[in-house]
Amino acid sequence: MGIAPVMLDLDGLEITNEEKELLNHPLVGGVIFFSRNYESVEQLSRLVADVRQATKGKSLLICVDHEGGRVQRFRTEFTTLPAIATLAESTNPEEKSYSHGWLMAAEVRAMDIDFSFAPVLDVNFGVSEVIGDRSFNRNPKTISTLATKYIKGMREAGMASTGKHFPGHGAVTEDSHHEIPVDTRSREEIWQEDIIPFADLIKQGLDAVMPAHVIYKEIDDKPAGFSPYWLQTVLRDELNFDGVIFSDDLTMEGASVMGNYAQRAEAAIDAGCDMVLVCNNRAGALEVLNNAKIKHSEESSQRLMRMQGEPFMNRSALLDTTRWAETVDDITALV
C-alpha cells in the first residue's frame, strides 16, 4: 500500500479526536511537527506513538523541519545544532558536515520520526534573510561538497534527504511565507549558480526536492512549485531526478497566486508534486481534503514510500553510545 498525497499538521502536544479522523482521510499521507507540538522527549514519544496508533493500517510519513540554527523545532533535551553556515567556516568542514547531518538525523530518527526536511541547498547571496545562515555557503560548489557529506551522515542514521528550495530561494529579498517573491534573473544566471548544488546532489541520489514559492519571471509566470516547466522539464527531464517532490506549505503567501487552497493543491499535484503540505491553517486543510480534485498516481505513492525512515536505535540506546557523546561535543562547539 502506497502513501497518500497530503501532509497536515497538528494543533498541540496531543492528538485530538478530530485530528485522528483527519489523519485517516484517504488523501492524508503525512504529518509535520512544529515547535508547538513539542514539550519534552517523553511527550513527543507519546505523540508519535499515538499518531502511529491512530493510523494503524495505513502508511504515514512523520516529519519535521529540524535544520539547526534558527530552524530547529525540538529544543529542550535535544542537542542545540548550529546553523549549517558555520560548517564551512570550521576546521575540517567536510567532517563537520557529516557529523552535523548524522547527529541531526540520529536524534530525530531515535524518536521514530521518518525525516527532517534537510538540507537547504540554496545559495546564500547575502540578500535573503529567510535563507541566510540556513545555507551552507555563497559558493555553489562548496554547497555541493558539504551537502554531499551532510546527506551521507543523514543516511547512516536511517534518514532520507530533501534538498530545498529548488531551483533556489537565495537571490530574492522577499520571504515567501509573507510575500510573493519574484526573481528577475535570466535562465543562464540561475543555471550558473543556483542549479549546481541540485544537479550535483541529484547525480548522487538525492531522495527528495522541495521547490520554492518563487516566480522566476524570465522563465515562467508560475512559482516553481506549481510550474510543469520547473518540475517536469527541468527537474525530471533535464536533471533526471526520479525522487519525491514535496510542495512547500500551500498556506504561505508565495502560493496565493494560484487561487484558493484546493486550487493550489490541484495545481501543485498537476505540475508534478508527489505530496502537498497544508500547514498552520486547519480551514485550508479541510478545504483541500473536502474539495480538491487530486489525481495521485501509483508511481507518486510508491515514491513517497522511499521517505520512510530506515530502522534505527531508540533514544536511550543512542544516548548510551560514545559516538553520540563525542559528536555532540564536536558540533556544539560551533554554536
- Which of 177, 220, 270, 330 is labelled catalytic? 177
**Tell me, what's the pLDDT at 1?**
66
pLDDT tens readout for residues 160-169: 999 999 999 9
Assess whether 249 carries a catalytic annotation: no
**Tell me, what's the pLDDT at 124?**
97
Mean pLDDT (the chain, rounded)? 96
> What is d(CA 235, CA 218) in angstroms, rounded to the nearest whole number?
18
Asked if residue 32 lies in contact with residue 6, where contact means CB atoms within 8 angstroms, the answer is no
Assess whether 175 carries a catalytic annotation: no
178: pLDDT strictly greater than 90: no
Select the more confidently predicted residue: 333 or 253: 333
- Name residue 127's amino acid: V
Cβ contacts of 86 within 8 Å, gap of 6 or more: 133, 334, 335
Query: In this structure, is the dihedral angle defined by the CA atoms of residues 308, 314, 315 and 318, taken in order, positive or negative?
Result: negative
The C-alpha R_g of the chain, in whole angstroms, comes to 19
Which residue spans within 18-65 are E strands per DSSP? 28-33, 61-64
- Which of 248, 249, 274, 296 is labelled catalytic? 248
Select the more confidently predicted residue: 117 or 181: 117
Residue whose C-alpha cell is 504515514: 60
The answer to whether the annotation marks 65 as part of a ligand binding site is yes
List domains and CATH numbers for the chain.
6-332 (3.20.20.300)
Express as a percent the part of the chain with pLDDT over 70. Answer: 100
**Tell me, what's the pLDDT at 56?**
85
The answer to whether the annotation marks 165 as part of a ligand binding site is yes
Q: What is the pTM of this model?
A: 0.97
Whether the bond into 167 is cis, omega within 30 of 0: yes
User: Which H helix or E strand runs over 245?
Assistant: strand 244-249
What would the mean pLDDT of 191-211 be, rounded to a whole number?
Answer: 98
